Structure 1
């Protein structure tokens, strides 16, 4: 504790924000896997399972839109802690006896979880911009990549944790353990996170939640299709495909998806080094378009190989590996650009608007993942994913081009 208090204030706040975000993400990933595997085990069809997550994604859209305004009005510390408290509530709702665990009740719990997740994420991403001096774009890119990548690595661990806890402790035991752990984090966060973090100096009007920045609006549109492309085949179709096609159990599905997301998170965290090896300048809209175009080829090639029966298991695993690497760089570039484009006073409003589009993409992808897989299989999910990625690349052509002569791997500006 003495070491922690001796650190500069901005470093302490970064560590608090990151630790808060990490803790939440761990339970979020585990909860998704628990619900997916538990209800698949009960005999629910893919589309029915997708419907369990509809409120999670829908309220993520609403929360990002309203949450950005709340962050500017109340301060990011409050919105972040509100997210933690709501996640504890969502987990607690799932502790009711099995006879009361209806689809409607689970959907309501997922609604609170969706609100919680996006309050927490919007707050964390917005807070990072406020902890770096204006003009330190290289350092900002690297630290945003680190936060985003580490979050996704932990989400992957959460997937594994969900599958493992379901096998070891059952559904209710796993939920109880996570609720207690997150409640402890909430108490610590409430005590130590700085007040007034991210609170706008000027009075924020609700109509300002709709961004007036062309760059933010274009990036938000690209983000919508980027995340719809991933979730169209990843969130429902893939886990059920692995279970049905290859006979994988809870441990195997959870462990594999965990490894995929962890690897994806590691690539996200190192994206500045990857892009620096290609260009010495901080990435711009042109770079985002190029990476999206490359990514569009991967699901199309996986679908083609599956259609012709080219070793389905090897095709799926190798294709997933390639998709993870290129998607991670795309996502990291987007996460940096929104923080870079966002205004400083009321940063949470631009970031919230952008992540509203992210949540809309996830909502669309989740619905399509269950529906397309049920009527046409994984190949159709992959084809639609590729189409969405082509849309992402075309939209990215309208992003600003700049030539900041900055090395993103240089030491951070203190």
Structure 2
């Protein structure tokens, strides 16, 4: 059956399978670290610091990884990412007394590099598999990859909480490393060796984008993801556990459901944003959805600040935030792949996801620091401010719509 499919479809399926498995372990590891080290008595700022190198090296990796992908091919950067994640997981499979902050930060640094190599490679690969004139198909494929990835990251949150309860921290990381080892072997055997390699070898000095629209979109992306992570990464899981009294499985399960729903909305975003009308989105769509999310976040922040029905507000508000954020994220993911040059696509995509990682880094640091000093409502106000900035920046993107062609 698979042999009857075109080569590009088979490669897309392999890239997606690779990305899916990696994403489950990435989400599970995030939840494992937050919950396990909170149990060990670490404060929220200390827990946030464990992810500092994860996010920082994501910035560096996306910048340099795009250049490497263009020179070496996306298959190599994707496989290197898998191998590094396996090493990072095994670094954490040591006795508890070895799990010091510097050691865990080093493992998280490797995991951050691995994650962004894998993501940059997967997103860039789609551009090489879809002709430029098929913008509708490009939007659909990007939305499916991005949405499924986030749905599975949500599953990873649940898996992390469940594995921590059932087999403990060390058992969990060993199990995940074993699964990824099998995925790596499949990828080495079947992934196309020439995927994404530029016809001309780009110079290292070309890693910074010279395209105004990519620079503007990257800045908007930085504020967008900083706005999410400033309350979602550290503050929210700790708040749910300490203020609401939820146990690990409940916290992990709730956040898993949130990210799964978020991923499902990302997958159907093309239908929501107007593809059915024969148009693909432009900058005004990015602005409208960002400003809507700004208003929703401000309302949630105010309700939490005055302590009005906090459990209902956070649960319902988080679901609404996730749905609108998912549409924003899917729009951005399509726009960057559409804007990127066909030859050496990973250069532009890598630069863009460097800004994404920078936003996550800023959001992660602020999530621990602001929550520890001022509480969850302050994190939400910072989130609303970041979203307002993302909205204003989006106004500078090109405004012309293009008709959807060849949607299949």
Instruction: Give 3-state SS (helix, strand or coil) of 1:162's partner.
Output: helix
Q: Please point out which of 68, 88, 91 is paired with 1:90.
A: 88
Alignment of structure 1 residues 125-204 onto 2, 5 Å: 125-204=123-202
Q: Could you list the structure 1 runs, at least 4 aligned residues long, displaced by more than 4 angstroms after superposition.
A: none
- Alignment-derived partner of residue 386 in structure 2: 388
- Alignment-derived partner of residue 308 in structure 1: 306
Alignment of structure 1 residues 8-407 onto 2, 5 Å: 8-276=6-274, 280-406=278-404
349 and 39 in structure 1: CA distance in 2 versus 1, 3 angstrom threshold = same
Aligned-pair CA distance for 1:5: 2.7
Equivalent residues, number: 408
TM-score normalised per structure 2: 0.99
* Residues 66 and 347 in structure 2, CA contact (< 8 A), matched pair in contact too: yes
Residues 369-412 of structure 1, C-alpha deviations (whole Å, 9 max, x = no match) = 000000000000000000000000000000011121227xx741
Residues 43-80 of structure 1, C-alpha deviations (whole Å, 9 max, x = no match) = 10000000000000000000000000000000000000
CA distance in 1, matches of 2:226, 2:308: 26
CA distance in 2, matches of 1:277, 1:13: 25
Instruction: Give 3-state SS (helix, strand or coil) of 1:201's partner.
Output: coil
Aligned-pair CA distance for 1:184: 0.6
- Alignment-derived partner of residue 4 in structure 1: 2
CA distance in 2, matches of 1:213, 1:279: 29
CA distance in 1, matches of 2:200, 2:113: 26
CA distance in 1, matches of 2:388, 2:238: 26
* Residues 145 and 267 in structure 2, CA contact (< 8 A), matched pair in contact too: yes
Instruction: Give 3-state SS (helix, strand or coil) of 1:200's partner.
Output: coil
* Residues 135 and 407 in structure 2, CA contact (< 8 A), matched pair in contact too: no
CA distance in 2, matches of 1:208, 1:126: 17
CA distance in 1, matches of 2:324, 2:317: 11
Residues 356-375 of structure 1, C-alpha deviations (whole Å, 9 max, x = no match) = 00000000000000000000
Q: Which moved more, 1:17-26 or 1:277-286?
A: 277-286
Q: Which moved more, 1:338-347 or 1:91-100?
A: 91-100
Note the residue ranges of structure 1 that are not aligned, 5 or more in a row: none
Note the residue ranges of structure 2 that are not aligned, 5 or more in a row: none
CA distance in 2, matches of 1:203, 1:57: 28
CA distance in 2, matches of 1:307, 1:219: 32
Instruction: Give 3-state SS (helix, strand or coil) of 2:272's partner.
Output: helix
* Residues 44 and 368 in structure 2, CA contact (< 8 A), matched pair in contact too: yes
* Residues 275 and 404 in structure 2, CA contact (< 8 A), matched pair in contact too: no
Residues 315-336 of structure 1, C-alpha deviations (whole Å, 9 max, x = no match) = 1011101101100000000000
CA distance in 2, matches of 1:192, 1:279: 38
Aligned-pair CA distance for 1:278: 8.4
CA distance in 2, matches of 1:306, 1:103: 32
Aligned-pair CA distance for 1:96: 1.2
Instruction: Give 3-state SS (helix, strand or coil) of 2:279's partner.
Output: coil
Aligned-pair CA distance for 1:141: 0.4
* Residues 88 and 108 in structure 2, CA contact (< 8 A), matched pair in contact too: yes
